[in-house]
Every structure is written in C-alpha cells, then in structure tokens.
Amino acid sequence: MLNSAVRVERSLLLRRTVRRVVHTLVVHALLLTGGVILLAPFAWLISGSLKEPGQIFVLPPVWIPNPVRFDNYPRALTILPFHLFFRNTMIVASMEVLGTVLSSTLVGYGFARLRFPGRNFLFVLLLSTMMLPWIVTLIPRFILFKLLGWVDTLLPLFVPAFFGGSPFYIFLTRQFFMTIPFEIEEAARVDGAHYWRIWWQIMLPLSKPLLATIVIFTFIHAWNDFMGPLVFLNSMDRRTVALGLATFKGLYSTEWNLMMAASTVATLPILILFFFCQRYFMRGIVMTGLAGR
C-alpha cells in the first residue's frame, strides 16, 4: 500500500510538472510571437534604410539588403539640416517635460492634499476637459500666439506646459500622491515645513515611478508631435524632426530609403529614454491606480 501511494503521488507530481512546463512553453511561445510581430515594422524600417530606392517595393519583400547602403545615413542627415531639427526638437521636448512635471505635480498635489471648497467639483471639471478635442482650441491658440508675436518660434510648443500641464497627468499625480501616507506630511508640517517644501522635498522624491511615467509619455508626445510644429513654425531652421521627416516626401517622388534612415535615427532618443526609465515606468503605471479617495 505504501509503495502504491508513493507511485500515485509521484505520478501526480509528474503530471503537475508536465502541465507547468507546457503552460510555460505556450506562454513564452505566444509572447515570442507577439514580440516578433511588434518588432517586424522596426526591422523593416532598418532594412529599408539600408536599401537602394528600387529595392523597397520589390515583391516578394527583400528583408536583407543587397547591396547594403550604409551611406544612406550620412546622406539623409546632411541633405537637410537635421542637426538643427534635432536641436529644436530636444529643446521643445526638454522644456515640455520640465513644464509638465512641475505644473502637473503641483496641481495634483493640491487636489490630493489640500482641503478647499469645491475641490471635487473642480477636479471633475478638470477631467471633463479631456473630452475636448485638441483641434477645437487650435484656432484660438493660434490667434493668441499671433498677438503675442510667438508664431514661427518654439515658444508655443512648450510654454503652455508650464500652465497646468495635462489633465491626464494631473489625474495620475493625484492618484499617486494619495497612496503616500498622510503621516509623512503631518510629521513634516510639525517640523515647520510649509506646503511648497513638502511638495518639493517630500512628495517629488517619493514619486520617481510617477515622474518617470510623465517624463516618458511627455517626451514621446513632444518628440513625435507633427501638428503643433506644422501650425506654428515656418522657417526651415526652426523645424522639428517630425517636420524634417515629412520634407522627404516630395510632390512627384519620395526617397523612401533616406526617409527610413532618418526615421531610424529619430527613434533612438525615445528607445534610449525608455530603456533607462522602464523600471520606474512600470511601477508608475501600477501604483497610480491603487488609491482613490
């Protein structure tokens, strides 16, 4: 009887192990398949950036260029003043990130910690502005910046970020700040810290996952923004990367290999930023939805 029970237990353990291994293999196979599908466009972008113009639309598709044209990259980056485009885009993205982080965390801190009449109504009103399409405010904003003399400058692209940021980021900030124990803030207030110091020296250092999330989202939006620079910028030396890439598309012909080469280089800052911040980014996505009061 003892030997029979041992054999049955070993058989059950073996079945569980086999099921676990099969489940792991299936999950990894699905994830690998999904990863290949998601990486296929980027692989095609790199492949096209190394091809001659006539190879890009060949059927069946040629994934490995023959011959490999590495000179597409220096040609793509010198045929237009891309060093100016990258400089302008970096200025806009950096300033928009700074303005969004400061304004969104400050407003979110007010909604999460301060008690004032109409707080909940104002917060709901703030969230309702997310339903307002960006295109609705385009003409009034253009008229405003025209009167200020800011058209054909970089100011309209990042100055609004310093005056409220985004309702979405304010919502994320409020939710995250509400996960931080009130006892920490009360202890700081007992020690004589005022609201500004609590926000700057306590809330922000404790909010690295939140800040990483805001930085990544804001930087990607500013780096890829096309409509804003198209409306407010006219001069070639003030264009951003998105406008510079669109310049490759001509009226009668398009040098797709050069556009793909420039696009490959343009994606590198976003990839580098994400790889450096992905740990905090994932923590921020999880933690910003834990509280609700």
Structural domain includes residue 36: yes
pTM value? 0.82
Structural domain includes residue 282: yes
233 and 165 co-located in one domain: yes
* Position with higher pLDDT, 266 vs 191: 266
91 and 188 co-located in one domain: yes
97 and 241 co-located in one domain: yes
98 and 147 co-located in one domain: yes
Structural domain includes residue 267: yes
40 and 158 co-located in one domain: no
7 and 105 co-located in one domain: no
11 and 118 co-located in one domain: no
92 and 212 co-located in one domain: yes
145 and 219 co-located in one domain: yes
Question: How large is the average pLDDT for residues 229-233?
Answer: 91
What is the pLDDT confidence band of residue 232, given thresholds at 50, 70 and 90?
very high
Question: How large is the average pLDDT for residues 126-137?
Answer: 84
112 and 14 co-located in one domain: no
DSSP per-residue letters across the chain: -HHHHHHHHHHHHHHHHHHHHHHHHHHHHHHHHHHHHHHHHHHHHHHHHTS-GGGTT-SS--SS-SS--TTHHHHHHHTTTHHHHHHHHHHHHHHHHHHHHHHHHHHHHHHHH---TTHHHHHHHHHHGGGS-GGGGHHHHHHHHHHHT-TTSSHHHHGGGGTT--HHHHHHHHHHHTTS-HHHHHHHHHTT--HHHHIIIIITGGGHHHHHHHHHHHHHHHHH--HHHHHH--SGGG--HHHHHHHTB-SS-B-HHHHHHHHHHHHHHHHHHHHHHHHHHHHHHHHTTS---
Structural domain includes residue 66: no
Neighbour count for residue 287 (Cβ, 10 Å): 17
Phi and psi torsions of 261, nearest 5°: -65, -45
Structural domain includes residue 149: yes
User: Which CATH number do you get for residue 211?
Assistant: 1.10.3720.10
Structural domains counted in the chain: 2
Residues 48-103 pLDDT 10s:
888 887 788 887 888 888 888 888 888 888 888 888 999 999 999 999 999 999 99
* Position with higher pLDDT, 86 vs 132: 86
Supply the range of the domain harboring residue 123: 72-287
198 and 237 co-located in one domain: yes
Structural domain includes residue 55: no
